[in-house]
Amino acid sequence: MYTQGLDQKDKPAAAGQGTETPEQLEAFQARIDAEEKIEAKDWMPEAYRRTLIRQISQHAHSEIIGMQPEGNWLTRAPTLKRKAILLAKIQDEAGHGLYLYSAAETLGVSRDQMVADLLNGKAKYSSIFNYPALTWADIGTIGWLVDGAAIMNQIPLCRCSYGPYSRAMIRICKEESFHQRQGFDILVSLCNGTDKQKAMAQDALDRWWWPSLMMFGPSDKDSKHSAQSMAWKIKRFSNDELRQKFIDVTVPQAEFLGLKVPDDKLAFDESTGHYRHGEIDWQEFLDVLAGNGPCNRQRMAKRCKAHDDGAWVREAARAYATKHTAKHAA
């Protein structure tokens, strides 16, 4: 069984690292260039398999950890309707995690191994989920910005060269669109409400704007995996390209809400048709990745506890499976 270790993850993947012949690599690249989907049983370079396991498992972990900041508000949603919507959204995130773990399993890694890598800190999850959801406006802002950034990043993944991942992404993106709309809808209500509600929305935007931009990953010059992942058509756009697209669509939405994006350097550039923006604090990003964000420890402690608390469910499922197999073998 394939195991993902830190030693392997630290190195960017490159074609030709395994025992593959140049002819095999060339034939594989020709399939990619012809926009053929690579399926689970097809031959693939070891580095391609490793890159996908890294990305898909990190994506799955993000969905699962991402349930925490919103779960924190389930008991305090302002109305029954908002509560039902939030509950459905969080359940969707769990579903996304499961489709993604299944997609990664087709590459020969076990779910137990992926979960172990998350719990022992080897595997990453998205930096964004290490920030706290302090007010109800944060729930709106997570839907609007975090799911909005997720859609921007994930729509191109529907065209990823690896079939099982690309197909999982189609359903995920449909659900993410509803998530983004529900978040924006919360903010529309708050921004049309009292001064205090509008101030709460502005405060949430102030805190979530820059971390949302960091979701797209390091700038292109520092992105160690992008070049190879784009050559393999796993990624279709670079981190900076997607970040720019996100800024371009989101700034007018903030204006519609009557909110101010917390970036004094933000300005529309007529000559390029894009917004220019201020410098991202990459040190903050690196600190969060190193485990020192505001909520990293809390998120991991909660995930580890949930895993331990669920041990009896896994045990019961295993016992049932053993009985079921024995019954059908008899």
Does residue 117 touch ligand BYC according to CB under 6 A? Answer: no
Cα separation, 47 vs 42, in Å, equals 14
Length of the chain: 330
Nearer to ligand BYC (CB atom), residue 214 or residue 247: 214
198 vs 226, beta carbon nearer ligand BYC: 226
Residues 128, 295: Cα–Cα separation, whole Å:
10
Complex with ligand BYC: residue 114 or 214, whichever CB lies closer: 214
Which residue from 111, 289, 294, 307 is in contact with ligand BYC, where contact means CB under 6 A? 289
Question: How far is CA 33 from its chain centroid?
Answer: 26
| Residue nearest ligand BYC, Cβ-based | 66
Cβ contacts of residue 174 below 8 Å, gap of 6+? none
Residue window 72-91: x/- pattern of binding to ligand BYC, with contact defined by CB under 6 A: --------------------
Residue 66 touches ligand BYC, criterion: CB under 6 A: yes
Among 135, 141, 161, 229, interactor with ligand BYC by CB under 6 A? 229
Nearer to ligand BYC, 54 or 233 (CB): 54
Interaction of residue 104 with ligand BYC, rule CB under 6 A: no
Calculate the dihedral angle through the C-alpha atoms of 92, 95, 97, 103, rounding to the nearest 10 degrees: -130
Choose the binding region for ligand BYC from 56-64, 78-86, 185-193, 312-320 (rule: CB under 6 A): 56-64
Applying CB under 6 A, which of residues 31, 111, 124, 181 lies at the interface with ligand BYC?
A: 124
Helices 163-191, 195-214: axis angle to 10 degrees equals 160
Among 180, 226, 244, 250, binds ligand BYC (CB under 6 A): 226
261 touches ligand BYC (CB under 6 A): no
* Sign of the CA dihedral with 59 first, then 64, 67, and 68 last: negative
Regarding 105 and contact with ligand BYC (CB under 6 A), the answer is no
Kindly tell me which residue out of 218, 254, 261, 263 binds ligand BYC, with binding defined by CB under 6 A. Answer: 218
293 sits near ligand BYC (criterion: CB under 6 A): no
Q: Among 139, 150, 168, 257, indicate the residue that binds ligand BYC (CB under 6 A).
A: 150
Tokens 């993947």 correspond to what residue?
Answer: 13
Question: Which is closer to ligand BYC, CB of 142 or CB of 198?
Answer: 142
Q: What is the per-residue DSSP string for 129-147?
A: GGS---SHHHHHHIIIIII
Per DSSP, 306 falls in state H
Under rule CB under 6 A, residue 296 binds ligand BYC: no
Distance CA 300, CA 17 (A): 33
CA distance 92 to 69: 14
For residue 178, the Cα-to-chain-centroid distance in whole angstroms is: 16
Q: What is the DSSP string of 178-225?
A: HHHHHHHHHHHHHHTS-HHHHHHHHHHHHHHHHHHHHTT-S-GGG-SS
Using CB under 6 A as the binding rule, whether residue 141 contacts ligand BYC is answered as: no
Single out the residue of 234, 183, 238, 187 nearest to residue 216, CA to CA: 238
147 binds ligand BYC (CB under 6 A): yes
Q: Which residues bind ligand BYC (CB under 6 A)?
A: 9, 54-55, 58-59, 62-63, 66, 93, 124, 126-127, 146-147, 150, 153, 214-218, 223-226, 229, 235, 239, 289
